């Protein structure tokens, strides 16, 4: 891959690839083809694959940094809603999130969850987040595509991916309906699987209905990139991660070139 195409991929990665969502670069040849296919069924891989490298388990566990150890000695450990994103392996990411009592949406507890989600999403500069990712197994998701992020992308990229500025949207107890059964394959990443990426097939156009942060009924039709974000975040509410839907041969460590330096 030449420098120009790699730079293009880096730009793609910065611009489009933050679902809930890693903004890390990826330069794998052929991993970024944008292909529209007519299949209405999405590939689904078992989340229960055997661990092939169990011998590396102990060596992969890092010793907790001393400063963190001291912090936990003084302060009690954090509790959900976290101000960080849970990582794959955390059971909360594989749980079926529970519906929220509509009467509780405007209450302090749920409002705190929503506010924390927005705060974390903006801190990580990603464009979508689900409540399970901050340790809360409730059916809440947040989406936002800020103008600044759009400004950093090329018009060609915006057109090809269907990227557009999206205001902050919160959906509580969302239901998804497919409007266009054609699918689009594109590279996807997730803040809960930090440092990795793979291509995933998603529906072209979907509709989401649910309640907003005030408990009011809302419906939104999305296509292109926002539709991908929605489908990714909806999956989180059912304990599904993009690695369950990915083309496994496109799965990459986004920093793989640095390992050869
Ligand atoms: Zn995610």
* Of 243, 191, 248, 202, the residue nearest 225 (C-alpha): 202
Classify residue 145: in a domain, yes or no: yes
At residue 191, the pLDDT reads 97
The Cα angle at residue 131 between residues 129 and 133, in degrees rounded to 5: 70
Classify residue 52: in a domain, yes or no: no
At residue 73, the pLDDT reads 76
pLDDT band for position 50 (cuts 50, 70, 90): very low
Can you tell me the distance from the alpha carbon of 8 to that of 246, in angstroms, rounded to the nearest whole number? Answer: 22
Of 11-15, 41-45, 158-162, 250-254, give the lowest mean pLDDT range: 41-45
Classify residue 232: in a domain, yes or no: yes
CA 18–ligand 1 middle distance (angstroms)? 9
Q: Tell me the pLDDT tens digit for each residue of 179-196.
A: 999 999 999 999 999 999
Inter-CA distances, 94 with 215, 225, 236, Å: 26, 24, 8
CA 152–ligand 1 middle distance (angstroms)? 22
Q: What domain range includes position 164?
A: 12-43+62-260
Average pLDDT of the chain is 81
Can you tell me the distance from the alpha carbon of 195 to that of 26, in angstroms, rounded to the nearest whole number? Answer: 10
Task: Kindly report the CATH number assigned to the domain that includes residue 188.
Answer: 3.90.45.10
CA 232–ligand 1 middle distance (angstroms)? 6
Classify residue 54: in a domain, yes or no: no
Report, as an integer, the average pLDDT of 227-239.
98
Q: DSSP letters of the chain? A: --HHHHHHHHHHHHHH--SB--------TTTT--EEE---S-----TT---S-GGGHHHHSPPPPHHHHHHHHHSPPP-SSPSS---TT-GGGGS-PBPPPGGGTTSHHHHHHHHHHHHHHHHTT-SEEEGGGGT--BSEEEEEE-HHHHHTS-HHHHHHHT---EEEEEEEEEEEEEEEEEEEEEEE-BGGGTTEEEEEEEEEEEEEEEE-TTS-EEEEEEESHHHHHHHHHHHHHTT--GGGTB-GGG-EETTGGGGG-
Cβ atoms 219, 241 nearer than 8 A: no
pTM: 0.77
At residue 101, the pLDDT reads 98
Q: Which residues are catalytic?
A: 233
Can you tell me the distance from the alpha carbon of 236 to that of 222, in angstroms, rounded to the nearest whole number? Answer: 18
CA 79–ligand 1 middle distance (angstroms)? 20
Classify residue 180: in a domain, yes or no: yes
pLDDT band for position 69 (cuts 50, 70, 90): confident
At residue 37, the pLDDT reads 34
pLDDT band for position 61 (cuts 50, 70, 90): low
> What tokens appear for 57 in the block?
């388990």
pLDDT at 46 over 50: no
Report, as an integer, the average pLDDT of 51-80.
65
With a pLDDT cut of 90, the percent of the chain lying above it is 63
Neighbours of ion ligand 1 (CB under 5 A): 20, 190
Domains identified in the chain, total number: 1
At residue 20, the pLDDT reads 65
Residues 6+ apart with CB under 8 A from 201: 37, 39, 42, 43, 183, 184, 185, 245, 247
At residue 70, the pLDDT reads 75
* Of 233, 234, 204, the residue nearest 39 (C-alpha): 204
Classify residue 57: in a domain, yes or no: no
CA 121–ligand 1 middle distance (angstroms)? 11
pLDDT at 95 over 60: yes
At residue 153, the pLDDT reads 80
Can you tell me the distance from the alpha carbon of 217 to that of 96, in angstroms, rounded to the nearest whole number? Answer: 22
Report, as an integer, the average pLDDT of 233-253.
98
């Amino acid at each position: 891959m030449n420098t120009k195409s790699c730079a293009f991929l880096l730009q793609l990665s910065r611009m489009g690839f933050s679902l809930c969502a890693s903004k890390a670069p990826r330069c794998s040849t052929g991993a970024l083809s944008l292909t529209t296919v007519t299949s209405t069924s999405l590939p689904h891989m078992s989340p229960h694959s055997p661990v092939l490298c169990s011998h590396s388990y102990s060596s992969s566990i890092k010793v907790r940094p001393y400063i963190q150890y001291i912090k936990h000695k003084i302060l009690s450990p954090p509790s959900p809603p976290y101000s960080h994103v849970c990582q794959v392996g955390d059971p909360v990411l594989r749980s079926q999130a529970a519906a929220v009592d509509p009467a509780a949406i405007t209450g302090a507890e749920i409002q705190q969850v929503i506010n924390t989600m927005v705060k974390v999403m903006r801190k990580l500069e990603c464009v979508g987040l689900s409540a399970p990712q901050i340790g809360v197994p409730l059916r809440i998701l947040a989406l936002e595509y800020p103008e600044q992020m759009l400004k950093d992308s090329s018009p060609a990229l915006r057109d090809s991916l269907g990227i557009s500025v999206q205001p902050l949207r919160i959906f509580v107890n969302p239901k998804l309906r497919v409007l266009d059964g054609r699918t689009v394959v594109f590279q996807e990443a997730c803040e809960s699987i930090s440092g990795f990426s793979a291509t995933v097939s998603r529906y072209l156009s979907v509709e989401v209905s649910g309640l907003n942060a005030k408990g009011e009924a809302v419906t939104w039709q999305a296509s292109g990139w926002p539709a991908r974000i929605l489908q990714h975040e909806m999956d989180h509410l059912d304990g599904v991660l993009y690695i369950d839907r990915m083309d496994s041969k496109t799965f990459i460590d986004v920093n793989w070139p640095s390992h050869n330096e």
